[in-house]
Structure 1
Amino acid sequence: MARVFGNLKWSLAAALLVAGVASQADMRPSPPASSTGASAESPATDDIPFASPHAAAVTEASAPQAWGGPRTGSEPTLSDRVVDYDIHATLDPVKHTIDGQQKLTWRNRSDREIRSVYLHLYLNAFESSGSTYYSEQRNLDFTFRSDVPVEDGEWGHIELRSVLQNGQKVAWSFVHPDDGPATDHTVVRFDLPTPVAPGGSTTIDIGFHDQLPRVVSRTGYFGSFHLVGQWFPKIGVLELAGERGATAPRWNVHEMHTNSEFYADYGHYDVKLTVPKGYTVGATGEETGAPVEKNGLVTHRFVQGDVHDFAWTADNRTAKPLEGTYHGPGSPPVKVRVLFPPEFASNAAPALKATIDSLKYFSQTLGPYPYNTVTVVIPPKNADEAGGMEYPTFFTAESYDDVTPDTLASHGLDFVTIHEFGHGYFYGLLGSNEFEEPMLDEGLNEYWDMRMLRAKGADIHVTTPFLRRIGIEPVVAPFAFERGGASIWEPADGVGFNSWDRLSSGSYGTVYSRTATMMRDLEAHLGTDVTERAFKVYYARWKFRHPSIADLRDTLAEVSGRPELVDAYFAQQVYATRKVDDRIANFASVEQKPQPGTSEVKGKWVEVTAEQADKLADDQRDAWKKAHPKAKPGEGPFPYRTTVTLRRQGAAVPQTLVVKFADGSSETVHWNENRAWARFVWTKPVKAVSAELDPQGLNLLDANKLDDSRTLEPDPSASRRWSSDVAAVIETAYSLLVTL
């Protein structure tokens, strides 16, 4: 899911919340550093536990043959398909309801007989304030984006009307894998009349009825516009030993939390969507065959294999779609289709261009895009909460009244489009677990988006047409902007923690900016080419296989040949969180002139008084200046002892210190120790004039860059650095966009 970008109504206070200033404490205990374990509520019919309700960053790499092993391209399908959905759904756009019939075929990958399966009923997150989703907002003061309030008559739900296995009724009951409230109905257990043998498959026929909510969180309606996401019963993931830290089979089927997203098996979708005549439909996958019209209703059929979700939209106000095609090595011709309402016609062409640009960049830097379609949806007015959301081959961007080039709004549309497309890789093609390891999707996607902007030379124009008219047009580089939301002063949670066990919603937001900033710093030390090569290996090795954070860590370490550096970054910032704050505590360069005291000369003790020592020094200086009339300030007859003391208040990161001297020479040292301080001393014929930590700007996580440099003469560049930190306020406002 993307950030909320374009709403300039966001307040600075809200921006500071995202930057990590908020102090509301999460009442849940801190998550462990492992994703193994079971919840207190265990399944009744199978001895298979749930994934832990506090599962977070996985520390043990997956087995080489996890998820069937790497996909070589020689297999008959892109993914190892586990599930098949055959769905027929009918939309009533007046009541905002959907009646559906679903044939779900699921394959048991385990070596155990399975008598119960677990499914997500995500839409029940919106049935009442008693759901886990709303309970967290009420009890923990969590927020979700703009926090649109639910008015009377605007709730939504999903109702199971029939569940059959081979014609026999299936008993079902709600369960709570994350120990959520009994009033949460987002996870259901089906107790099967006929067990599923190891390696066998079963088919379950499900009749269901959806009441869509007024668009509030990734799904719903406004007027005739309908975004239909997380709308069908979706089976959970049965993970096996060696997959994402599991040591034995377990059901990964978390409740829907305020700040969580999704995780599912790859499979095949064949979906028929029936809507009234005059409605434009967009959906995951390719439309197959001509629409069929009957009795004022039109049925569209969409088919897509090797994806793990399906979403769609329908509206009778959609303008004629704008279309384009991407052609790139290794990819089929990709048809890009932009759906938009008439009031936002100006958004369509920029969204189309950004999508095609993204197809090119992600294909070149990660791997070819394998699907035939991408559908982009621009939401209408008053449906902001439908914006910025991703599904396989289908995403929603955002909508802006004025997309004047090089303004915050135009950048917002460009960025959100890039970001939502990017999810097609990190969430879609890699199948990351967004519940437990949101870093692998939201964080890495944010990082790759910023790399794309950097490669384009697309600095961020933090202005509007009005501000431009009065001469205010600040410009910030992409990663400098991202730093504003990285919670650099007081980070609360490691970026690898799950999406719900967090200090605040602001801390969840740092998954975006802090991951992007951390990865940018790691890239700065590993090298850009090395980092990109590692990510290409990561994508090739783990596409369609649900990698863990440990799998990412090990791939980066292996390809870079720098395991100690990679492990240190992950230990400090992913599996835990540590502030980075190195500074120059003291800088002096003192002339080593004659000193008063006594000394033995030819057997006699001779005293030199302070006055005599000063006179001797002055005489030697005068003589030296006559002999060196062109000498620069800081040069003289006596050597200078230069001392630089560094202090460290936080994590140890590789640092470089450069000291420059009056004759133009310099000294460079590297500080890679884990100590809280270090002192460096040089004795040279000339005086030092400046000392600077991190001169190349490799460590953007450093909380305060102003204390990284010192001069021994007044230097106006310090005031200029203050000006750059004022820009951090604007950067922080941008970082608010991380809360999607």
Structure 2
Amino acid sequence: MAAPPPPAPAAATSAPAAAGSAASTPIPFVSPHAANIRTASSPDAWGGARTPADATLSNRVTSYTIEATLDPDKHTVDAHQVMTWRNRSDRPIDKIYLHMYLNAFEGPGSTFFTERRTFSGSGHSRGAAKLKKGEWGYIDLKKVQQNGQDVAWRFVQPDDGPKTDHTVVEMDLPQPVPAHGTLTLNVDFHDQLPRVVERTGWWGKFHLVAQWFPKIAVLELPGERGATEVRWNAHEFHYHSEFYADYGNYDVKLTVPKGYTVGAVGHEASAPVDADGKVTYHFQQTDVEDFAWVAAPGYKTMDTTWTGPGSPQVKVRVIYPPEFEVVAEPTMKATTDALTYFSKTLGPYPYKTVTAVIPPYNASEAGGMEYPTFFTAENSEEYTKGTTSQYMIDFVTIHEFGHGYFMGILGSNEFEEPMLDEGMNEYWDQRMLTDRKQDIHAASPLMKKLGIDPAIPPYAYERASGVLGINFPSDSLDANSWDRLSNSSYGSVYSRTASTMRTIENLVGRDAMAKAMKLYYERWKFRHPSAADLRDALAEGTGQPALIHQIFDAQVYGTQRVDASVVDVDSAEQLPQAGTVVKDGKRVTITESEVDKQIADAREAWKKAHKDAKHGGPYPWLSTVTVRRTGAPLPRTLEVKFADGSSETVKWDDDSRWKRFTFLKPVKAVSAELDPDRPLYLDANKLNDSYSVKKNGSASSRWAADAQALLQSFYTFVGTL
């Protein structure tokens, strides 16, 4: 069992209640189980779509000015913060809610650690380390004032989590914020950083400082992400959840010991100031939702610049420990390649910086995290082309950069709709890797010496890791991040979303999907779309609304299995039959012997007329192919091959549970296969997609391919990045 957290200072419980607070109608929290948003946001949500005529990239709501000092020996940060917040609603606000994310690591009683214990053993988790005495982390509010008056506050649990969870604080404002007015809060706070166990913290002298400052929750208005009334979106810090915040500006000064390498969200606004053995760095960034930074002594930097149409010149920096220098250059290349790809396929990158941080040995759980203009990548002592090490370094770098679009520029709510960030990002990452023709290789040196070098395409990996063999998904794709059956169910958001979107792309065509994704990005950049907004953009952009709604109902909002099979292939030669017929107005009986002679004569005459024919005869064949669905009715293609080498392709695009297709041909059918081009990455079982009259090895070959894909899952970690 984990050691108990250190006792909290008295100030961490609450501050004195302020007298004379004006009463107002309470504003409710969003449901603890909010998910599966089906109602599209209104066109003017979040201030409406951003256009080139707008003076700012986002409809800025918040502003944070922070002065912080790191004590690397105690692993603490002491800071003063001035936060401004604009009340977008039409009513006065006398209570606000701040996220205190760092308190997720204060002890075993937090929602985060409670759920971590619940989900342990049910699939992969990001980290398994246990914090000991002196390794817990927390955030203490030292002073909170509004216009010189103390602000009363208390911890609350909007998601009905344990009372020992302190990741959300409610504040009673001495002076209510008028409708469309602005609030200014002065906050002094103290961070005790945790040892790196997941996402944030220290290891040795390395400090990744993330989820570290009090951050105001999002006040959503009617017409935004399914809201029908003004509401606070202020979820606790759940084990599987990440973040959601308003767009705003950050002006942050960071003081660290001399000799430390520092990187952060945004750009350096001025030259570092050196005084008394310490250095103060000044970073600024507009139109983002978060701020994180890193400080470590002896770390190296690698710099380059990138330019692209519609983007400013971008300074790209990789910060890395000397022991992992081998992956610095690959991380840089993957970052600049991702800048080019995402800017071309979605929209221009709007910021002036990108910073990638490679964590040190024993702090791998600090890797694979994303913040605006700033992310942590993968560390490794090896980078060899054509191996798993290359794929992992490249994939993780591209994936974390990609969050800058799907989490950052598109402002997805990762609490309630992780598929919009993790899942959609996974889809676009794999699209980039596919366009790069970068398959996954997992062969050991010995296997390669033996000439064995299995490779699997990126989307095939996604299918194998999250679709193959799953009869019925336990949770819908648009379920929130914590109401999940298991770790694996949450992890499947990545692969199932990627497989779903790839399936749509294959059905509507690559160009149509590309157009739809650009529409989604352009319409919702610097806003906060829901799954319903993605659905409508795809429906409009692809020009196939019925198909998009069908797939969203079955997969995004539902848990339908996708599977179909060829049940039987039956062929019968259409021979004359004994019986009575009407001939010249009279009923005549034809006997079996007469029929036999008629058939024999016809065959003999046909052979004489077709001496070189290898197939066919005087009578046609009626072939019947029976197919059956045991899952969602997605459009299917049936290819039937005949004895003479010819083939016919038909569409099965209705919602029938089974169907018979008939073919009258000179030769019989010898095999039938559903979707020979394999467009449906959601298909749970490819082994039943074909049927052959004669035995062949195609099914076993497909089984081997699926087995290879599953084996690859051992070598490649994707699920919780």
* TM beyond 0.5: yes
Once the 2 structures are TM-superposed, how far is the Cα of residue 616 of structure 1 from its aligned partner? 5.0
Letter in 2 for 1:63: S
Which SS does the other structure have where 1:287 is aligned? Answer: strand
Which residue of the other structure, out of 254, 274, 281, is the alignment partner of 1:300?
Answer: 281
Letter in 1 for 2:702: R
Once the 2 structures are TM-superposed, how far is the Cα of residue 46 of structure 1 from its aligned partner? 4.5
Give unmatched runs, 5+ long, in structure 1. 1-42
CA distance in 2 between counterparts of 1:700 and 1:574 reads: 15
Once the 2 structures are TM-superposed, how far is the Cα of residue 625 of structure 1 from its aligned partner? 2.1
Does 2:141 align with 1:160? Answer: yes
Per the alignment, residue 248 of structure 1 pairs with 229
Per the alignment, residue 8 of structure 2 pairs with none
Give unmatched runs, 5+ long, in structure 2. 1-21
Which residue of the other structure, out of 56, 73, 88, is the alignment partner of 1:94?
Answer: 73
Once the 2 structures are TM-superposed, how far is the Cα of residue 700 of structure 1 from its aligned partner? 1.4
* 668 and 206 in structure 1: CA distance in 2 versus 1, 3 angstrom threshold: same
Relative to the length of structure 2, the TM-score reads 0.93
Per the alignment, residue 18 of structure 2 pairs with none
Letter in 2 for 1:608: T
Which residue of the other structure, out of 641, 644, 648, is the alignment partner of 1:660?
Answer: 641
Once the 2 structures are TM-superposed, how far is the Cα of residue 323 of structure 1 from its aligned partner? 0.8
Tell whether the 8 Å contact from 1:45 to 1:116 is kept in structure 2 after alignment. no
CA distance in 1 between counterparts of 2:506 and 2:715 reads: 23
Tell whether the 8 Å contact from 2:464 to 2:706 is kept in structure 1 after alignment. no
Does 2:673 align with 1:675? Answer: no
Identity %: 58
Once the 2 structures are TM-superposed, how far is the Cα of residue 734 of structure 1 from its aligned partner? 6.0
Per the alignment, residue 38 of structure 2 pairs with 59
- How do 1:293-372 residues align onto structure 2 when only pairs under 5 Å count? 293-319=274-300, 321-372=301-352
* 305 and 184 in structure 1: CA distance in 2 versus 1, 3 angstrom threshold: same
Does 1 or 2 have the higher relative contact order (CA < 8 Å, sep 6+)?
Answer: 1
Name which of structure 1's ranges 131-140 and 303-312 shifts more when overlaid on structure 2.
Answer: 131-140
Per the alignment, residue 457 of structure 2 pairs with 477
* 487 and 110 in structure 1: CA distance in 2 versus 1, 3 angstrom threshold: same
Which SS does the other structure have where 1:161 is aligned? Answer: strand
Does 2:477 align with 1:495? Answer: yes
Letter in 2 for 1:663: D
Once the 2 structures are TM-superposed, how far is the Cα of residue 697 of structure 1 from its aligned partner? 1.5
CA distance in 1 between counterparts of 2:691 and 2:701 reads: 14
* 412 and 464 in structure 1: CA distance in 2 versus 1, 3 angstrom threshold: farther
Per the alignment, residue 532 of structure 1 pairs with 514
CA distance in 2 between counterparts of 1:551 and 1:54 reads: 20
CA distance in 1 between counterparts of 2:573 and 2:712 reads: 43
Per the alignment, residue 35 of structure 1 pairs with none
Per the alignment, residue 125 of structure 1 pairs with 104
Per the alignment, residue 714 of structure 2 pairs with 733
CA distance in 1 between counterparts of 2:573 and 2:378 reads: 63
Which SS does the other structure have where 2:520 is aligned? Answer: helix
CA distance in 2 between counterparts of 1:411 and 1:460 reads: 6
Which residue of the other structure, out of 155, 168, 183, is the alignment partner of 1:202?
Answer: 183
Which SS does the other structure have where 1:191 is aligned? Answer: strand
Which residue of the other structure, out of 649, 664, 674, is the alignment partner of 1:693?
Answer: 674
Per the alignment, residue 567 of structure 1 pairs with 549
Letter in 2 for 1:107: R
Does 2:206 align with 1:225? Answer: yes
Tell whether the 8 Å contact from 2:580 to 2:587 is kept in structure 1 after alignment. no
Per the alignment, residue 68 of structure 1 pairs with 47
CA distance in 2 between counterparts of 1:594 and 1:734 reads: 61
- How do 1:626-665 residues align onto structure 2 when only pairs under 5 Å count? 626-633=608-615, 635-665=616-646
Tell whether the 8 Å contact from 1:390 to 1:421 is kept in structure 2 after alignment. yes
Tell whether the 8 Å contact from 1:485 to 1:735 is kept in structure 2 after alignment. no
Letter in 2 for 1:95: K
CA distance in 2 between counterparts of 1:46 and 1:261 reads: 30
CA distance in 2 between counterparts of 1:604 and 1:435 reads: 79
Letter in 2 for 1:399: N
Per the alignment, residue 135 of structure 1 pairs with 114
CA distance in 2 between counterparts of 1:95 and 1:278 reads: 17
CA distance in 2 between counterparts of 1:317 and 1:677 reads: 66
Tell whether the 8 Å contact from 2:303 to 2:315 is kept in structure 1 after alignment. yes
* 506 and 736 in structure 1: CA distance in 2 versus 1, 3 angstrom threshold: farther
Per the alignment, residue 10 of structure 1 pairs with none
- How do 1:713-728 residues align onto structure 2 when only pairs under 5 Å count? 713-728=694-709
Per the alignment, residue 14 of structure 1 pairs with none
* 467 and 127 in structure 1: CA distance in 2 versus 1, 3 angstrom threshold: farther
* 343 and 464 in structure 1: CA distance in 2 versus 1, 3 angstrom threshold: farther
Which SS does the other structure have where 2:620 is aligned? Answer: strand
Per the alignment, residue 30 of structure 1 pairs with none
Q: Could you give the per-residue CA deviations for residues 291-340 of structure 1, whole angstroms, max 9, x where no partner exists?
A: 11121111111100100000000111312x11111111111110000001
Q: Could you give the per-residue CA deviations for residues 372-402 of structure 1, whole angstroms, max 9, x where no partner exists?
A: 0000001111111001010000000101111
Once the 2 structures are TM-superposed, how far is the Cα of residue 485 of structure 1 from its aligned partner? 2.1
Letter in 1 for 2:525: K
Once the 2 structures are TM-superposed, how far is the Cα of residue 538 of structure 1 from its aligned partner? 1.1
Does 2:62 align with 1:83? Answer: yes
Which SS does the other structure have where 2:416 is aligned? Answer: coil
Which SS does the other structure have where 1:657 is aligned? Answer: strand
Q: Could you give the per-residue CA deviations for residues 23-62 of structure 1, whole angstroms, max 9, x where no partner exists?
A: xxxxxxxxxxxxxxxxxxxx99642100110001211111
Relative to the length of structure 1, the TM-score reads 0.91
Which residue of the other structure, out of 591, 610, 614, is the alignment partner of 1:608?
Answer: 591
Letter in 2 for 1:62: S
Per the alignment, residue 568 of structure 2 pairs with 586
Which SS does the other structure have where 1:519 is aligned? Answer: helix
Q: Could you give the per-residue CA deviations for residues 84-118 of structure 1, whole angstroms, max 9, x where no partner exists?
A: 10111111111111111111111111001000100
CA distance in 2 between counterparts of 1:477 and 1:115 reads: 54
Which SS does the other structure have where 2:222 is aligned? Answer: coil
CA distance in 2 between counterparts of 1:174 and 1:618 reads: 93
Name which of structure 1's ranges 613-622 and 404-413 shifts more when overlaid on structure 2.
Answer: 613-622
Letter in 2 for 1:701: L
Where has structure 1 moved over 6 Å in runs of 4 or more?
none
Per the alignment, residue 417 of structure 2 pairs with 437
CA distance in 1 between counterparts of 2:89 and 2:176 reads: 13
Which SS does the other structure have where 2:312 is aligned? Answer: coil
Once the 2 structures are TM-superposed, how far is the Cα of residue 349 of structure 1 from its aligned partner? 0.3
Does 2:67 align with 1:104? Answer: no
* 114 and 152 in structure 1: CA distance in 2 versus 1, 3 angstrom threshold: same
CA distance in 2 between counterparts of 1:360 and 1:273 reads: 31
CA distance in 2 between counterparts of 1:50 and 1:83 reads: 20
CA distance in 2 between counterparts of 1:666 and 1:281 reads: 64
Q: CA RMSD in A?
A: 1.8
Per the alignment, residue 455 of structure 1 pairs with 435
Instruction: Give the aligned length.
Output: 695
Tell whether the 8 Å contact from 2:104 to 2:165 is kept in structure 1 after alignment. yes
CA distance in 2 between counterparts of 1:514 and 1:221 reads: 34
Tell whether the 8 Å contact from 1:397 to 1:416 is kept in structure 2 after alignment. yes
Tell whether the 8 Å contact from 1:480 to 1:731 is kept in structure 2 after alignment. no
Once the 2 structures are TM-superposed, how far is the Cα of residue 600 of structure 1 from its aligned partner? 6.5
Once the 2 structures are TM-superposed, how far is the Cα of residue 727 of structure 1 from its aligned partner? 1.6
Q: Could you give the per-residue CA deviations for residues 699-736 of structure 1, whole angstroms, max 9, x where no partner exists?
A: 11111112212222333333322221222213433674
- How do 1:141-180 residues align onto structure 2 when only pairs under 5 Å count? 141=120, 144-180=125-161
Once the 2 structures are TM-superposed, how far is the Cα of residue 526 of structure 1 from its aligned partner? 1.2
Which SS does the other structure have where 1:721 is aligned? Answer: helix
Tell whether the 8 Å contact from 1:389 to 1:397 is kept in structure 2 after alignment. yes
Letter in 2 for 1:631: A
